[in-house]
Protein backbone atom coordinates (compact mmCIF):
# COMPACT_ATOMS: atom_id res chain seq x y z
CA UNK A 1 0.00 0.00 0.00
CA UNK A 2 1.26 3.48 -0.85
CA UNK A 3 -1.01 4.99 1.83
CA UNK A 4 -1.83 8.66 1.26
CA UNK A 5 0.11 10.34 -1.53
CA UNK A 6 0.26 14.03 -2.38
CA UNK A 7 1.68 15.91 -5.33
CA UNK A 8 3.51 18.16 -5.78
CA UNK A 9 5.86 18.27 -2.76
CA UNK A 10 6.70 21.93 -3.35
CA UNK A 11 5.05 24.67 -5.38
CA UNK A 12 5.62 28.37 -5.91
CA UNK A 13 2.78 30.45 -7.35
CA UNK A 14 2.27 34.07 -8.20
CA UNK A 15 -0.68 35.96 -6.76
CA UNK A 16 -3.79 35.28 -8.85
CA UNK A 17 -2.64 31.97 -10.31
CA UNK A 18 -4.72 28.84 -9.83
CA UNK A 19 -3.58 25.31 -9.22
CA UNK A 20 -4.70 21.90 -7.98
CA UNK A 21 -3.07 19.94 -5.19
CA UNK A 22 -3.50 16.23 -5.74
CA UNK A 23 -4.29 13.66 -3.03
CA UNK A 24 -4.86 9.95 -3.43
CA UNK A 25 -5.24 7.03 -1.04
CA UNK A 26 -5.30 3.29 -1.68
CA UNK A 27 -6.75 2.12 1.63
CA UNK A 28 -10.41 2.34 0.56
CA UNK A 29 -11.04 4.99 3.23
CA UNK A 30 -14.40 6.70 3.11
CA UNK A 31 -13.32 9.89 4.88
CA UNK A 32 -10.81 12.31 3.37
CA UNK A 33 -9.81 15.78 4.43
CA UNK A 34 -7.53 18.70 3.68
CA UNK A 35 -5.69 20.71 6.33
CA UNK A 36 -3.35 23.63 6.25
CA UNK A 37 -0.60 24.06 8.81
CA UNK A 38 0.80 27.46 9.67
CA UNK A 39 3.49 28.11 12.30
CA UNK A 40 2.12 27.86 15.84
CA UNK A 41 -1.43 27.17 14.65
CA UNK A 42 -1.59 23.40 14.44
CA UNK A 43 -3.69 21.96 11.63
CA UNK A 44 -6.83 23.69 10.42
CA UNK A 45 -9.49 21.85 8.45
CA UNK A 46 -10.19 23.29 4.99
CA UNK A 47 -12.64 20.81 3.43
CA UNK A 48 -13.59 17.23 4.02
CA UNK A 49 -15.52 14.40 2.38
CA UNK A 50 -17.36 11.46 3.92
CA UNK A 51 -17.58 9.58 0.63
CA UNK A 52 -17.57 9.89 -3.14
CA UNK A 53 -19.82 12.72 -4.27
CA UNK A 54 -20.09 14.29 -0.78
CA UNK A 55 -17.99 17.23 0.38
CA UNK A 56 -18.36 19.85 3.08
CA UNK A 57 -16.57 22.90 4.41
CA UNK A 58 -14.24 22.92 7.35
CA UNK A 59 -12.93 25.77 9.45
CA UNK A 60 -11.09 27.74 6.72
CA UNK A 61 -12.70 26.98 3.32
CA UNK A 62 -12.50 30.40 1.63
CA UNK A 63 -10.43 30.42 -1.54
CA UNK A 64 -10.45 26.64 -1.93
CA UNK A 65 -12.64 24.15 -3.80
CA UNK A 66 -12.79 20.37 -3.61
CA UNK A 67 -14.53 17.52 -5.36
CA UNK A 68 -14.69 13.79 -4.72
CA UNK A 69 -15.59 11.86 -7.84
CA UNK A 70 -13.92 8.62 -6.69
CA UNK A 71 -13.16 7.04 -3.31
CA UNK A 72 -9.43 7.28 -3.98
CA UNK A 73 -8.94 10.91 -5.05
CA UNK A 74 -9.61 14.21 -3.32
CA UNK A 75 -8.03 17.18 -5.14
CA UNK A 76 -7.86 20.65 -3.62
CA UNK A 77 -8.14 23.62 -5.98
CA UNK A 78 -6.86 27.09 -5.27
CA UNK A 79 -8.97 29.41 -7.38
CA UNK A 80 -6.90 32.59 -7.28
CA UNK A 81 -3.82 32.23 -5.07
CA UNK A 82 -3.10 34.85 -2.42
CA UNK A 83 -0.02 35.29 -0.19
CA UNK A 84 -2.20 34.36 2.81
CA UNK A 85 -2.45 30.86 1.32
CA UNK A 86 1.28 30.29 1.78
CA UNK A 87 1.30 27.23 4.00
CA UNK A 88 1.93 23.51 4.24
CA UNK A 89 -1.05 21.48 3.07
CA UNK A 90 -1.80 18.00 4.34
CA UNK A 91 -4.30 15.53 3.01
CA UNK A 92 -5.57 12.80 5.34
CA UNK A 93 -7.92 9.84 5.22
CA UNK A 94 -9.63 7.39 7.56
CA UNK A 95 -12.36 4.79 7.76
CA UNK A 96 -15.69 6.41 8.50
CA UNK A 97 -16.09 4.71 11.89
CA UNK A 98 -12.52 5.30 13.03
CA UNK A 99 -11.23 8.82 13.74
CA UNK A 100 -7.49 8.13 13.48
CA UNK A 101 -6.54 9.77 10.21
CA UNK A 102 -3.53 8.86 8.11
CA UNK A 103 -1.68 11.82 6.68
CA UNK A 104 0.09 12.35 3.40
CA UNK A 105 3.62 13.82 3.27
CA UNK A 106 2.37 17.37 2.65
CA UNK A 107 2.74 20.05 -0.01
CA UNK A 108 4.67 23.21 0.80
CA UNK A 109 3.07 26.08 -1.10
CA UNK A 110 4.49 29.57 -1.43
CA UNK A 111 2.47 32.36 -3.00
CA UNK A 112 4.46 35.42 -4.03
Return residues touching other proteins (CB under 8 A).
4, 31, 33, 35, 40-45, 48, 50, 58-59, 90, 94, 96, 99-106
Beta strand spans in the chain (E): 4-7, 10-13, 19-25, 31-37, 43-51, 54-57, 64-66, 76-78, 87-94, 102-103, 107-111
Smallest gap, in angstroms, from Cβ of residue 103 to other proteins?
A: 4
Nearer to other proteins, 14 or 97 (CB): 97
State the nearest-atom distance from the C-beta of 106 to other proteins, in Å.
6
Nearer to other proteins, 1 or 99 (CB): 99
| Angstrom distance (rounded) from CA 25 to CA 28 | 7
CA distance 1 to 35: 22
When the beta carbons of 13 and 91 are compared against other proteins, the nearer one is 91
Amino acid sequence: NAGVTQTPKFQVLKTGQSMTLQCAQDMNHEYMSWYRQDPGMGLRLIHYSVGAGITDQGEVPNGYNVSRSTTEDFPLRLLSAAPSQTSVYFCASSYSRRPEQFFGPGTRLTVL
